[in-house]
Amino acid sequence: MRVLFLASEATPLVKVGGLADVAGELPRALRTLDLDVRLALPFYSSIKESGLEVERIGEASVVHSGGRRGAEVYSSETRGVPVFLIDGAPIRQSEGIYESPEIDVDKFIFFSLAALALCEEIGWQPGIVHANDWHAALSVAWLNAHREGNSFWNEVASVFTLHNLPYMGSDASRVLVDYDVKIADLAHLPPWSRNLPLPIGLATADWLSTVSPSYAKEIQTSEFGHGLEGLLQSRRERLVGILNGIDSEVWNPTQDAALSTTFSYDDIESRVKNKQALQSELGLETDPDVPLLAMVTRLDHQKGVDLVLDALNDVINERWQFILLGTGDSALEGRAEKLSSTHPDRIRFINRFAPKLARRIYGGSDLMIIPSRYEPCGLAQLIAMRYGCIPVVRSTGGLKDTVEDYDSTGQGTGFTFGPAESGALCTAIQRGLNLFGDKATWQELQRRAMMRDFSWQRSAEDYYDLYRRALGERSV
Ligand code: GLC
């Protein structure tokens, strides 16, 4: 079975958010199941400059009102996964990965259509087109509109995976006319959404998936559905939730070169050396008995950074240290900056993208705070557990599906709370701080968290089953 996997970012080539981890790791896991999965990515200037070895494999062109638009296509390989890199004028228009809404909509629609044109050009016929998020949505819409009677595309099925519902792309009406993409039957979409790439993808893909079972249910409600809950309810028989995994080679505390001391669950005692090294690296008092709280995140309303800043004020009389690593919203950056300069003895705000430091934070801190307002899956809690750092999470989406509360089970792997309010978060943090004092129980908790299996294997098998079902429907 051949699968064309389209995404706007994929590790290790290009990463902005969690989508990149999935697009970098899932195709690899699927290939171990003997699927011929190939990744398609825009050939961003950062990839061109990275020194990646590429080979030019051909040209493709897409219909456009100003004359056909040409794409040059290169192939490469990353960690055993073949990659098609799509280049062309709309992609060269921007320096970065994401730019202005107008540039992006043109760039990503061109990318989506050119990737399909390429398959025809080189005669590589996929069974499944698997598109991710709004950037790739038009590939499934195009397929839906054009495959009947087309000998190349007729039996091809589509899967569209949603990683983050509120990011729908911007008004694509002009671009859709330019690229002559006629989309049939969008009557069941709310009128405001009919020109937005993501809703178009949701309405036209054969199958929809999202990255956790809980998020798949949540997006069918008005609280999480962003106005598309009606559409998602109407497609619920076609919507599945498949949890993301983590690559157990990429995230492995027994051999992570970024750590000062590697460790496993059998020698959890040696983990404390990482904590001390981290405290000293960041100029905090190097005391293993002070609970070290951390957050590694995009600074975004979604992630509830504001809730943490408020909650810390409420436990200010307790002993703890706090590290926040990340960039994003400037108002939140300002608030974090202010709080850390008020408490220079115990709070560090590292306002940059620092993947190696992030690993040391997972490997050295005691509690990872993840109070997301919504979380389709979430990666931080999975890495944290693998690295023996106990997650404190809001019970929503993938967080709910992967972290079990300690107190309600006497077992569990973390601390969970319900309402998106700093008070509720504060209570959960407090429970963590209280248990931290009990070393033996804490280590049991760490071991349990580290032993959880979140490898991609199971998810890959679920995608495999979904592909088989989708393909089966096309070939009858
Ligand atoms: C988005 C979501 C996150 C998810 C990731 C990968 O970044 O916000 O929850 O883990 O996509 O699916």
Kindly report, residue by residue over 337-392, the tens digit of the pLDDT: 999 999 999 999 999 989 999 999 999 999 999 999 999 999 999 999 999 999 99
pLDDT at residue number 447: 97
Give the domain range for residue 283: 265-453
Q: Are residues 427 and 464 in the same domain?
A: no
Q: Are residues 468 and 372 in the same domain?
A: no
Q: Are residues 399 and 356 in the same domain?
A: yes
Residue 164 lies in a domain: yes
Q: Are residues 310 and 181 in the same domain?
A: no
pLDDT at residue number 187: 83
Q: Are residues 8 and 128 in the same domain?
A: yes
Q: Are residues 189 and 76 in the same domain?
A: yes
Name the residue with tokens 């157990």: 248
Out of 165, 299, 377, 400, give the residue to mutate to test ligand 1, the one with the largest number of ligand atoms within 8 Å of its CB. 377
Residue 409 has pLDDT above 80, yes or no: no
Mean pLDDT, the chain, whole residue set: 96
Q: Which atom of ligand 1 is nearest to the CA of 379?
A: 10
- With a 6 Å cutoff on the Cβ, whether 379 touches ligand 1 is yes
Give the CATH number for residue 351: 3.40.50.2000
Ligand 1 geometric centre to CA of 376 (Å): 5
Residue 216 lies in a domain: yes
Q: Are residues 449 and 461 in the same domain?
A: no
Number of domains in the chain: 2
Residue 256 lies in a domain: no
Residues counted in the chain: 476
Q: Are residues 463 and 384 in the same domain?
A: no
Ligand 1 geometric centre to CA of 398 (Å): 9
- With a 6 Å cutoff on the Cβ, whether 296 touches ligand 1 is no
- With a 6 Å cutoff on the Cβ, whether 9 touches ligand 1 is no
Residue 255 lies in a domain: no
Residue 71 lies in a domain: yes
Q: Are residues 235 and 118 in the same domain?
A: yes
Q: Are residues 171 and 280 in the same domain?
A: no
- With a 6 Å cutoff on the Cβ, whether 400 touches ligand 1 is no
pLDDT, one tens digit per residue, over 115-140 is 999 999 999 999 999 999 999 999 99
Q: Which atom of ligand 1 is nearest to the CA of 161?
A: 12
pLDDT, one tens digit per residue, over 27-59 is 999 999 999 999 999 999 999 999 999 999 999
Assign 476 a pLDDT band (cuts: 50, 70, 90): low
pLDDT, one tens digit per residue, over 55-88 is 999 999 999 998 999 999 999 999 999 999 999 9
Q: Are residues 418 and 288 in the same domain?
A: yes
Residue 260 lies in a domain: no
Q: Which atom of ligand 1 is nearest to the CA of 375?
A: 9
Residue 333 lies in a domain: yes
Q: Which atom of ligand 1 is nearest to the CA of 211?
A: 12
Structure tokens that stand for 366 in this block: 């005691």
Q: Are residues 446 and 462 in the same domain?
A: no
Ligand 1 geometric centre to CA of 201 (Å): 18
The pTM of this model reads: 0.95
Atom 5 of ligand 1, residue of closest alpha carbon: 18
- With a 6 Å cutoff on the Cβ, whether 218 touches ligand 1 is no
